[in-house]
Each structure stands twice: as structure tokens, then as C-alpha cells.
Structure 1
Amino acid sequence: MNIIWRGGLTVSALALYLSVCHAQNSQFSFPGAGARPHAQNYKDMILATCVANAYQNDKSAAIDAGSSVSALRDWTEYDMERAPVAIKSLVDSYLVRNYHNPLVEPEIKDVRFDFLKCLDLYHSSELDEQTKDLVINPEHKYRQDNQ
């Protein structure tokens, strides 16, 4: 875990703060992404990007998914020069798909199946190929170097 010291926070003050936080919420835990391989985090980041884009008009969903994207970026080594364009292209290509379900559409007006599109993207061979092409040390884990 990287700690950025601000405002003269001492080790003892940090220990006190962490113990108070722990005492207040025994359910507190850390995301598991730091223990997962870079390749898996990259795929998870793409899924979160897709969800953030699909639900950009729902501010809560977009903020939550976008925050997850930011966190996953910190735990993933990938080609940061080529990836943004590749990610946008892949996500956009799935979100523009026109999924149709005649059983649901009479019941729900303007249904788009965006989450299903994101899941299809997540399980796609295109994402597998992009991951192989752009992820650095795909089996390596963030916590191997940052404990």
C-alpha cells in the first residue's frame, strides 16, 4: 500500500487513526484487486468503463463505476499510451449494438440491455486479445511489489 504523507501526519497518529477506524467498523476491508493479476484487473477495468459509459445519465452509477475504473488503474500495469484509444473503441463498439428481445420490449419501453452488452464485452475474444496485447506482466500482481 502506498501512503502519501500530508499535513505532518506521524506514524503514531496514523496508527491511532487506523485503530479508531477499525474499532468503529469491524466490517472494513480492502478491495481484492491488489491481489489479482494485472490481466484480470484490466478486464475488470474495461467492464467498469463500459458500465460507467452505459449509465452516464445515472450519476450515482456512473460515479461508482468511474471510481472503480480509477482504482483499478492503480492496480494494473498496461500500455497507457495505446490503451485509452483501444478501450474507448472496444467499449463503444459494444454499447452501440442493437439488442432486441420481443418478450421484454412490450413491457418495458426503450429498454437498451446496456448491462448485457457490457457483460458480452467482458466475456469477448476481443477483450482477451486486447488484454494480451496491452497488459504488462499479465500474471503479476500489484501486491507482489507493493506490500
Structure 2
Amino acid sequence: MKENSVQMEKIMREINFKIKIEGRKVLKQLELSTAQFDVLQILYFKGDKKLSDISKSLGVTKSTTTGLIKRLEALNLIEKIQSSKDKRIYNVKITTKGKKIIDEVIIRRISLMEKVIEKMGKDETFIEKLIKLKNTLNEVVEGDEL
């Protein structure tokens, strides 16, 4: 079992790395850092967030997050909206321009997956197993069974 776990971790890491690198080719053209892109992804997939929530998600200090937010705001990729209830709190929202960047990355990654599927041949059971793997991984992580 341990040997399979080691092999599975290595395979998943390699797959994730290749997909990530393909998507990040878009970022090189735009001169965005991976940390800035991570902020955009959080906002794109999880919706508007407070600065403190972004810091927690990234695992970085609030001052680091503030710097990332300022640079993204200057590029018009996000906007900060002051809370009407508490003037000290700002919510961060991704702009249409920011969403377009994420969309470009996703399109590039999908294109890569299309090429992979073309080479492998269409296999419905493979996709079903991937879905089962994802769901099981989510259950274990959410259940904190590690």
C-alpha cells in the first residue's frame, strides 16, 4: 500500500506540475507573478474575499497580501470595495479583465488536455475514475482524515 501511495503522489505531482506550467505560459506574456495569479484564482473560483481571507488562503502575511493586492489593483485586475458596515474592512473583487486572464489560462489547459486525450484515446472509464479520485480526495481532505 505504501509503495502505491508513493507512486500515486509522484504521478499526481508530475501531472499537476505539467498542467500548471502550461497555464502559466499565459502569465509570462502578461508579466504576472504566480502569487498574483493565485490571488486572481481565489477570487475567480471562490468569489469576493476580505484581505484577511486571501492571506489565510495563500498562507502569507497580511502585509504580503496587501502588496499583491496593490499591484493587481494598479493593473485593473481586481478592485477593493470598502465595507459599508466597517470602514476598516475591504472586500476584494476580480474585474472582467482579471477574469479574462483566468479564462485564457483555462483555455490553454483544456487545449493541453484535448491533445492528451487525442493521444490516449477517449476512455470514459478513465474520466469516471478521475472523478472518483477527485471526490475521494475531497472527502479525505474535508474530513481531515490525514
Give the TM-score, by structure 1 length.
0.29
- TM-score w.r.t. structure 2 length? 0.29
Structure with bigger helix share is: 2
Considering fraction of residues, name the structure with more strand: 2
Kindly name which structure, 1 or 2, has the bigger radius of gyration based on alpha carbons.
Answer: 1
Larger RCO (alpha carbons 8 Å, 6+ apart): 1
